[in-house]
Amino acid sequence: MNGISRMRYSLFAVVLAASLAVLAPILHAQPLVLTLDDAIALSVKNNPRLEMARLDMRKADYKVLEAVGNALPNISATGQYTRAIKKPVFFVPRSMFQPGAEGYTTLAFGLDNTYQVGLTATQVLFNAIVFTGVGASKIYQKASREVYRGEFNKTVADVKRAFYGVLLMQNIHDLTLNSLRNAEDNLRTVQKMREQGLVSEYDFIRAQVQVDNIRPSVVETERNVTLALNNLKMLLGVPPTQDIHIAGGLEFVPADSLLLARAEEMVLSENANLRALKLQKQVNEEFITLYRAESYPTLTAFGNYRWESQKNDFKLTASDFISQSQVGVTLNLSLFNGLQSTARKHQAEMDYRKSEEQIALTRDGLLTQLQNIRLRLEEALRRIASQTKTVEQAEKGYEIARVRYAAGTGTQLEVNDADLALVRSRVNRIQAVYDYTLARIDLEELLSVVPPDTFE
């Protein structure tokens, strides 16, 4: 092998190794198999809206800390150095030094360098604004928890809807694919019978058309499965290229009878959004009190301790400092601030009245949603019972049609109609189960039944 050939071989080896290094993770990537609980946990971890709600909770915690801090002692330390460029003076009558002299003379005092170190402490004894602010911040903290609980339940419900949506599309795809296999089996049977002269060309054509008519439906259902999976991936926060497999089935699970029995009571007491609005109303009420308190007197205790020294040089010792200390109280009363407090109080009153209207509107809306969910559950339940019987009859009808056709007493049209009726009845039943499942999920979200720490 000459030098040029060896160089080309080495270059090819380098390119091949680099390509394999890039493609290896892709070639060996394993599909992500998810149960419903796995999907919810992943979404709870990656959902940006939920993370923003968590940050709002932390912010509310710091708001409480800030409000409590206003009621705690405030201690500060100060240090100051002053260099006298021109010393201050006293104007003294000259007669003090020279009897009978007229006019004034100046007498400088102080040294070149002044050093001061001090501690100051203040403590609020009475301030209605501070105490009201602490109560308002704690209510706001509770409201942030309810907002997070509502967002958490919404996230869980969204993932459940998307997860069962994938299962629905997969079921429909499987039913359509099964129908295609039935049609292909029927086509092969008809073809053999035609070769034996038992059926006409018309029957063969009808069987062929039946197969060709079902194939586009298979392609369409495959696309619907992909779209449903992409929607689920978006909620889970996984990349679109990630291959995921869903573990589980779309089965009929009846709604909790206790939830249904206490639904009206629970929706008014447990719905997270309604509870957050009620807490917001309390916050607005606290603001009314706070702005009214701006006209109340405030009483503050203070104390300070100071060390001071003056020297013409920088050679300081502890004995050069003298100490001073003071304690006292300050009373402050706002007599007039341009009606600003009154205006703010009226604004808070308007916010309070708005919150009352919003609570009433939300309460009526929740009760209406609950009534609609009940109707959806009842309607889907009747459809499930009806379609279960229909599927059984359609299965028997399809078998009878095939047997009749094989015996020469039936027609190809009967077989096609029986197959179509069977697929339609199965799709209708799985759709009824899906609709019931969605209504049950909506009920659970409306009642905010999932604790926020369930999947965290």
287 and 394 in a common domain: yes
Note whether residue 453 is domain-resident.
no
113 and 205 in a common domain: no
Distances (CA, A) of 376 to 23, 56, 265, 406: 50, 35, 20, 44
Instruction: Among 315, 332, 349, give the residue marking a domain's end.
Output: 332
- Separation CA 45–CA 41 (nearest Å): 6
Note whether residue 22 is domain-resident.
no
Q: Is the dihedral angle over the CA atoms 411, 413, 416, 420 positive or is it negative? A: negative
278 and 221 in a common domain: yes
188 and 317 in a common domain: no
246 and 199 in a common domain: yes
| pLDDT of res. 118 | 93
Note whether residue 93 is domain-resident.
no
DSSP letter at 103 equals: S
| pLDDT of res. 14 | 47
175 and 156 in a common domain: yes
263-274 pLDDT per residue, tens: 999 999 999 999
Number of H helices, E strands in the chain: 10, 8
Note whether residue 452 is domain-resident.
no
409-431 pLDDT per residue, tens: 888 788 888 888 988 999 999 99
Note whether residue 1 is domain-resident.
no
Look up the CATH number of the domain holding residue 293: 1.20.1600.10
**DSSP secondary structure letters along 313-363:** SS---GGG-EEEEEEEEEEE----STTHHHHHHHHHHHHHHHHHHHHHHHH
320 and 218 in a common domain: no
Tell me the pTM: 0.80
64 and 132 in a common domain: yes
111 and 254 in a common domain: no
The domain of 372 spans: 29-72+127-297+338-446
109-119 pLDDT per residue, tens: 778 888 899 99
118 and 212 in a common domain: no
Note whether residue 15 is domain-resident.
no
Note whether residue 412 is domain-resident.
yes
Note whether residue 284 is domain-resident.
yes
Residues in Cβ contact with 193 at an 8 Å cutoff, skipping those fewer than 6 apart? 199, 203
Give the count of domains, the chain.
Answer: 2
Low-confidence ranges of the chain (pLDDT < 70): 1-29, 455-456
CB 87 within 8 A of CB 110: yes
| pLDDT of res. 22 | 47
| pLDDT of res. 433 | 95
| pLDDT of res. 376 | 96
315 and 274 in a common domain: no
Q: Is the dihedral angle over the CA atoms 13, 17, 23, 29 positive or is it negative? A: positive
352 and 273 in a common domain: yes
